[in-house]
Amino acid sequence: MTTMSNLPAEVLEEILSRTPVTSLRTMRSTCKKWNNLSKKKIIPEAARKQQGLMLIKKKICSLSFSLHEIHKDDYVVPCINQVDIPRNIEVEKIFHCDGILLCVIEDNCSLLVWNPYLGQTRRIEVSSDADMNDRYALGYDNNNSSHKILRIKKDFKNSDGLGYEIYRFASNSWSLLDEEVMKPEWDVWSVQRSSVSLKGNTYFLLQGNDYDDQEDEEEEDDEEYEDDDDVLPKDNFLLCFDYTTERFGPRLLLPFNPHVEETVALSCIGEERLVMLYQSFKTYKGIEIWVTDKIDPKAVSWSKFLKVDITPLTGFPVDFYADSFVIDEEKKVAAVFDIHCSYQKAHIIGEDGYLKCVNMGRASDVGNGQPLVFSSYVPSLVKVPVKQPKGKRKGRSSETKSNKNKKGRKIKIIGG
């Protein structure tokens, strides 16, 4: 009698990989074999959808956005849902890399590293001078094949007021980075969304803080702008932190030159490319979206994805300020969110200009607050690095949880 349990593993995988993401939980709850198999591959549907993550009232929320059907009348309204984080803790900030989330929790004193797709978590304590202005980023060291966390904090002993620390999963420890090596010239109090981890490294969007220079050049900028080729973006650039060398790279130029008040947003598409939105309102009122052709810590090249006029004549609301966005490359459209509207509406733009406005839904358990940080998230099978045991216990079975050790450092290993 042929039953599912008699099917060879590769055939079973073939079948299970075709279940929709919504049935993932059912599939995993069926039996241990299915649970294990489901973690060997990302369900194609999960990989295909565009996920965005954001924080609303200290809870992680996800927005699954597909612009594929945007032209159709029966387009399904995207809905913001709460993502249930292990043990329902409050999250102050989120960052991510390679499908792993780095959450700052418990009043900024701890970090939770979490791969939702695999259900693995790990907790890391931050050193005692944790502060709500600390910035973090997650990346990967290719030479040592391990993840690292970068922490940027206030440190008035240093000339630029900033200190840098690295947590290396390979050694389970924090260490300070040499100040001389750093000095990326930036303002650490810039907005949360200004960094994206891509291919194991983190790209920071830096907006100039040379306010004195800016005033003098106000006049000149308008003239310079007409001649795009000559314009050197002095105040806005990307800077990449390379976790393998533990250094910041050179300034990476943006394909546009925003004035200080103009809006710029950084995101990523898929796992290999950055995408940026630029809303100009000084010289002309429009939105430009650019995608990288090539990017690495030392160089970048861009190509234009979309450029749209957004005066109120075209259908845009007056006083529209772009905050976050999502693009669909195939359909050549983008959905743009307004900073003032708390994600209640998405404005859809395409090559033909303004297309429509879509009302967003919110699941009932999602708070009413203003979403922070919208960033594109791609699930992965990358395992959360486990704490290397210091002595006795070697392997661990997939379902056991380990105890707190005496110093209060909680070590939770779930999943295998």
Q: Is the dihedral of CA 177, 179, 182, 187 positive or negative?
A: positive
Copy the structure tokens of residue 89: 């803790």
Tokens of 412: 């939770």
21 binds other proteins (CB under 8 A): yes
Beta carbons of 165 and 155 less than 8 angstroms apart: no
Q: Is residue 10 a contact residue for other proteins (CB under 8 A)?
A: yes
User: Is there binding between residue 25 and other proteins (CB under 8 A)?
Assistant: yes
Which range touches other proteins (CB under 8 A), out of 19-27, 173-181, 313-321, 323-331? 19-27
Q: Are 244 and 227 in contact (CB under 8 A)?
A: no
Residue 114 tokens read as 């979490």
Of positions 35, 142, 190, 311, contacts other proteins by CB under 8 A: 35
Q: Please, which residue, 14 or 107, has the CB nearer to other proteins?
A: 14
Q: Does 14 bind other proteins (CB under 8 A)?
A: yes
Name the residue with tokens 């430009």: 288
Angle at 244 between CA 239 and CA 249, to 5 degrees: 20
Output the smallest distance, CB 229 to other proteins, in A: 40
Site string for other proteins, 94-123 (x = CB under 8 A): ----------------------x--x----
CA–CA gap between residue 35 and residue 17 (Å, rounded): 12
- Closest approach, Cβ 275 to other proteins, in A, equals 21
Q: Does 173 bind other proteins (CB under 8 A)?
A: no
Cα atoms in the Cβ-side hemisphere of radius 13 Å centred on 3:
2
CA distances from 135 to 131, 180, 299, 385 (A): 9, 19, 24, 21
197 binds other proteins per the rule CB under 8 A: no
Q: Where does residue 255 rank: exposed (0-12), middle (13-18), buried (19+ CB within 10 A)?
A: middle
State yes or no: residue 380 binds other proteins (CB under 8 A).
no
Of the CA atoms within 13 Å of residue 399, those in its CB half-sphere come to: 3
- Residue 139 pairs in a beta bridge with 148
Does residue 26 belong to the site contacting other proteins (CB under 8 A)? yes
Nearest approach in angstroms of CB 147 to other proteins is: 20
**Of the listed pieces 21-29, 129-137, 142-150, 199-207, which binds other proteins according to CB under 8 A?**
21-29
Shortest gap between Cβ of 322 and other proteins (angstroms)?
25
What does the buried/exposed string (b/e) look like for 298-324 if buried means 16 or more CB atoms within 10 Å of the residue's CB? eebebeebbbbebeeeeebeeebbbbb
Nearest approach, Cβ of residue 121 and other proteins (Å): 9
23 binds other proteins (CB under 8 A): yes
Query: Under a CB-based contact definition with an 8 Å cutoff, are residues 348 and 310 in contact?
Result: no
By CB under 8 A, what part of segment 342-371 binds other proteins? 363
**Which residue in the set 42, 55, 85, 366 belongs to the binding site for other proteins (CB under 8 A)?**
85
What distance in Å separates the CA atoms of residue 65 and residue 348, rounded to the nearest whole number? 12
Q: Are 97 and 113 in contact (CB under 8 A)?
A: no
Could you say which of 210, 222, 272, 399 contacts other proteins (CB under 8 A)?
Answer: 399
Among 9, 40, 69, 84, binds other proteins (CB under 8 A): 84
In eight-state DSSP terms, residue 255 is S
Is 403 near other proteins (CB under 8 A)?
no
- Whichever of 313 and 363 has its CB closer to other proteins, that residue is 363
Minimum distance between the CB of residue 102 and other proteins, rounded to whole angstroms? 16
Please tell me the count of residues contacting other proteins according to CB under 8 A. Answer: 46
Using the structure block, give the residue that is written with the tokens 């999963």.
Answer: 169
Q: What are 192's strand-pairing partners?
A: none
- Residue closer to other proteins by CB (options 84, 272) is 84
Per CB under 8 A, the list member of 16, 56, 150, 306 interacting with other proteins is 16
Q: Contact residues for other proteins (CB under 8 A)?
A: 1-5, 7-8, 10-11, 14-16, 18-32, 34-35, 46, 49, 51, 62, 64, 79, 81, 83-86, 116, 119, 363, 399, 414-415
